[in-house]
Structure 1
């Protein structure tokens, strides 16, 4: 979106209002110049107290003054390429009758955006159009025998103090053609080609190649398909990010203009507001954050024009104050019967995480005839294992994106016991490996720690012991294993809230995760899983105090949308 100039808006707001016989002049909040406090260079300085810095300090009582000759100049470095639409000059008595306002991206090649040969000095407010990192006042003719002198030299841009929200504009880069300086393709990053940064899949990424060694020079670019006005760029970095880079635009993909640059890139998610035009947009990286190359999960370009392709539609966020039950199992089956096959897929076999049980196809999961389902861990030999248990899930039965997912359960206490109620991204069923598919642990419980439970998210950038989550207990500090408790997750496009007995215990905020840990990979369908593990990396092995058989009892599982 194009924004109103801070300078021109202030001028317009200063217009006098007349109501009857009363004249009212509105109070103004002075706009912040882009130039204030920025580095300044000058052609000369008359006195040691009248340096160029005095013209950009916001103090109308200090000034810059030059030597007594023509062709004097003062230049301010805005720190990055900015859109310029206003310059204010507050001249001292020694003013210039002829001068130019010039802009430059590099401080070497200059373009004039305003010129005059009949200035009368005083306070001048100039409406100009241009962009650049450097803005220069170049004096061609003095009005007096002295040099030139400015109380204030102020440069203004179109920013109104707000950061543009990408959702206000169209996503222009989705599915468009990408190119890069190189791409990685090995066991550490399979098919990490540039298109992966434009696929709206935050679990796939582009990375620079390793076959020639890691280097500081690298780039990735996208062809928007047609000329576009670019209002923002969003970068979701892998840990291999750039501390120094520029955002460049081009009409033809050959000649580039820098519209943003930084030497203090922070990684994670960076949203960069822009006001630039071009068909091609490039991130040009020149300094690495670490020993590796560069890698981006997402490179998103927002604006107008181009040839945008509509991304897949996402479901609406649920209204958690007005939900309807869409799936449930109350476990009202007859005693001894297995889980309802229309609702559950039994998942037998060997476990993960160095667990010690074998998940049997039958026998360890059954209805108790009292409205519950029991997952029972036993100490018994089976398929070379010392313990047996049960795992079941809703894969190919029920998949969902967003809603409230809850289960009322009683967990078993005992060293090495590990019951869980959790979800896996359905693309796991299509062959995408963990953790790229995403995992949402609504509840995990470690049997030797009966006073707390855990809720965790797992993604490529944060998983296993480094997952993003929280631990919590009952308000009174009692044992969670002493009775039934309801564990729930309320999930939408903004994050996931976790509940224990309807009390919120942890919130995974999407924006916070993206800004501090890495990509948010949960905006797609998931399926639910119930299991009881024995041993493993987290709880460690059972011992002689662990009760067997141990029962994980589920009263119900319900999903609301």
Structure 2
């Protein structure tokens, strides 16, 4: 998969300083989501058995929740991936657990794993209390020992995003977390590039190319073992409600961590995550 020169498409999609920086590196992985359907050679689609974090959705493999748009629709460049949340009361997992919502989650496990490098994605999000999309990386094995890198999360407050690390001794309500407010005039509903630069000694999180949070190995080792020297795979998902949103918005009804206005947005078909491209370089 490694290619020493970015494709012309990649150069067109990246801009300004991002191009200057990324073209000096080797491309490990790139998807600009310009095909008719999700490229299954690059991505796995996850299907819910039992959910975690008290999330309210089931993940399904469906063209209704994971699909592509063409061209420049919604401000994309050369097409985009869409993860869409849907109201589907009575949906049951194969284990028989019932859900009122379905959504999409994909990952690159065993198809693209990387240790160190830069991972970035251009994403446009829906806002609304309890809408919980994320772009993150995870190692194989038991959590949290495997190490988790949260490049971008939002729980529905469009004015900020968060970054976090999880590992042995620093998981759940981790001390290694950061909340970054957007500049006046923009929010999560606009296109932004979310990224992390990962080395053997630190992780540097960026928003639109600007450094917003840095975590060093000594900072991590105050709490537990450094869990960031093993291969990781990327994940894109759109969760609804759950522990993190509830911890911020304190909402318990109509759903745990998910507001009525957000439920209305889902029912209206307006709860979507757009991903223009994903890029990993080293």
> TM-score band (shorter)?
0.7 to 0.9
Contact 2:133–2:238 (Cα < 8 Å) also in 1: yes
Shift of 1:320: 7.7
2: distance between equivalents of 1:481 and 1:443?
11
Are 2:43 and 1:344 equivalent residues in the alignment?
yes
| Structure-1 residue corresponding to 2:242 | 536
| Structure-2 residue corresponding to 1:396 | 110
Change (3 A) 1:497 1:359: same
| Structure-1 residue corresponding to 2:124 | 410
Change (3 A) 1:470 1:522: same
Match of 1:466 among 161, 174, 182: 174
SS in 1 for 2:25: coil
Contact 2:150–2:165 (Cα < 8 Å) also in 1: yes
* TM-superposition CA deviations, 1:374-408 (whole Å, max 9, x none): 00011112112100101110011100000000000
Shift of 1:519: 1.8
5+ long unaligned stretches in structure 1: 1-318
Shift of 1:482: 2.8
Shift of 1:467: 4.4
Are 2:275 and 1:554 equivalent residues in the alignment?
yes
| Structure-1 residue corresponding to 2:55 | 355
| Structure-2 residue corresponding to 1:480 | 187
1: distance between equivalents of 2:100 and 2:168?
33
* TM-superposition CA deviations, 1:216-240 (whole Å, max 9, x none): xxxxxxxxxxxxxxxxxxxxxxxxx
| Structure-2 residue corresponding to 1:494 | 201
Are 2:134 and 1:456 equivalent residues in the alignment?
no
Task: Show the 5 A alignment for 1:88-237.
Answer: none
Shift of 1:479: 4.2
- Higher-helix-fraction structure: 2
SS in 1 for 2:219: helix
Task: Show the 5 A alignment for 1:9-408.
Answer: 322-334=24-36, 337=37, 339-349=38-48, 350-363=50-63, 364-370=65-71, 371-381=79-89, 382-383=91-92, 384-408=98-122
| Structure-2 residue corresponding to 1:437 | 146
Contact 2:165–2:174 (Cα < 8 Å) also in 1: no
1: distance between equivalents of 2:191 and 2:22?
24
| Structure-1 residue corresponding to 2:223 | 517
| Structure-2 residue corresponding to 1:419 | 133
2: distance between equivalents of 1:500 and 1:345?
26
SS in 1 for 2:239: strand
Match of 1:545 among 261, 265, 270: 261
Shift of 1:494: 1.1
Q: For this pair of structures, how many residues does the alignment match?
A: 232
Shift of 1:366: 0.6
Structure with bigger RCO (C-alpha 8 Å, 6+ apart): 2
Shift of 1:446: 1.2
* TM-superposition CA deviations, 1:193-245 (whole Å, max 9, x none): xxxxxxxxxxxxxxxxxxxxxxxxxxxxxxxxxxxxxxxxxxxxxxxxxxxxx
5+ long unaligned stretches in structure 2: 1-20, 72-78, 93-97, 247-256
2: distance between equivalents of 1:471 and 1:438?
20
SS in 2 for 1:435: coil
1: distance between equivalents of 2:162 and 2:54?
19
| Structure-1 residue corresponding to 2:16 | none
Shift of 1:321: 8.5
2: distance between equivalents of 1:478 and 1:504?
19
Contact 1:417–1:533 (Cα < 8 Å) also in 2: yes
TM-score under structure 1 normalisation?
A: 0.40
Contact 1:377–1:389 (Cα < 8 Å) also in 2: yes
2: distance between equivalents of 1:537 and 1:342?
33
SS in 2 for 1:465: coil
RMSD: 1.6
- Higher-strand-fraction structure: 1
SS in 1 for 2:121: strand
Shift of 1:324: 1.9
Q: Which has the larger radius of gyration?
A: 1
SS in 2 for 1:480: coil
TM-score under structure 2 normalisation?
A: 0.79
